[in-house]
A and B are shown apart, each in its own frame.
Chain A
C-alpha cells in the first residue's frame, strides 16, 4: 500500500541541539516530497520541497532535508533548534502526475530551554 510514515510521534530536544525528523515513503514511483510545519491554531506552512536533482534541499529558517532513493526516505534536519521551532511537522508526498498532497501522521517537536 502507498504510504508516508513518520515513525516518531513526539520528539523533544534541547535548545541549540541538532534535530532530525524522520520520514519514509512507500510508493511505486518516486514522488515529489515536502515538509510542512503547523504552529498551534495555524494552517500548514511549507518548509521545503524536493522534486529532483541535488538530494539535499534547503528550506526556510535553517531547515534542510535529504532525499534518499535507496532508503525511500526524506529526513528533515536542523543544525541548531530554537524554542520557536516547537510545532508539529508533517512530511507529505504527491505524485508527479497528480496534484493531491498526502501527509504523514506528523511529529510533534518540543524544544526545551
Chain B
C-alpha cells in the first residue's frame, strides 16, 4: 500500500498559467478530499468526492478552481490563471467507505511566481 499519491510534489508556475495537481487515492477508497494549507489560513477544506461524484465543493474558490474525479483511481485539482495568493501546499486525502480513517498524501507545494 503506497498510500495516497500526489504528483508532482513541487510545482512552480508563472502568474497567469494553469496548474493541474494529481491525486491517486488508496485502492478501494471511495472518498477523496482536497485541502489547501497555508501559514496564514491553515488547513482549509476545498472539496470532497464520494464514489467519484462531487459531494461538497463549498471550500472551493468560485473562480479559477475546479476539481474532477474521472475514475476511481485518480482526482485532479485544476487552477486556471494562477495568482501568487494560490501558492500553498495542496493536500489530497482518501477514506474507505466506512470513513473510519482519512489518509493524507504528502501534498503538492505550488509556488506561483
Identify the A interface with B (CB < 8 A). 36, 41-46, 49, 90, 99-106
Identify the B interface with A (CB < 8 A). 3-4, 31, 33, 35, 42-43, 45, 48, 50, 56, 91, 93, 95, 99, 101-107
State whether A100 and B56 are in contact (beta carbons under 8 Å apart), knowing that A43-B91, A43-B107, A45-B104 are contacts in the complex. Answer: yes
User: Min CB distance, B100 to chain A, in Å?
Assistant: 8
Alpha-carbon gap, A90 to B105, bound state (A): 16
In chain A, what residue has the closest Cβ to B95? A99
Chain A residues with CB below 8 A from B50, complex form: 99
Chain B residues with CB below 8 A from A41, complex form: 106
Alpha-carbon gap, A10 to B73, bound state (A): 38
User: Min CB distance, A41 to chain B, in Å?
Assistant: 7
Chain A residues with CB below 8 A from B106, complex form: 41-43
Are the CB atoms of A100 and B33 closer together than 8 Å? yes
Give the interface centre of B48, B99, B102 by most chain A CB atoms within 10 Å: B102
Alpha-carbon gap, A104 to B44, bound state (A): 10
Interface residues of B, dominant DSSP: strand
In chain A, what residue has the closest Cβ to B101? A46
| Cβ-closest 10 pairs across A and B | A43-B104, A103-B43, A44-B104, A105-B42, A43-B106, A99-B99, A43-B105, A100-B48, A100-B45, A42-B106
Are the CB atoms of B104 and A102 closer together than 8 Å? no
Chain B residues with CB below 8 A from A106, complex form: 42-43
Chain A residues with CB below 8 A from B93, complex form: 43-44, 101
In chain B, what residue has the closest Cβ to A98? B56
Chain A residues with CB below 8 A from B105, complex form: 43
Chain A residues with CB below 8 A from B56, complex form: 100
In the complex, besides A99-B50, A106-B43, 18 extra interface pairs with C-beta distance below 8 angstroms are: A41-B106, A42-B106, A43-B4, A43-B91, A43-B103, A43-B104, A43-B106, A43-B107, A46-B102, A49-B101, A99-B31, A99-B99, A100-B33, A100-B45, A101-B45, A101-B93, A103-B42, A104-B42
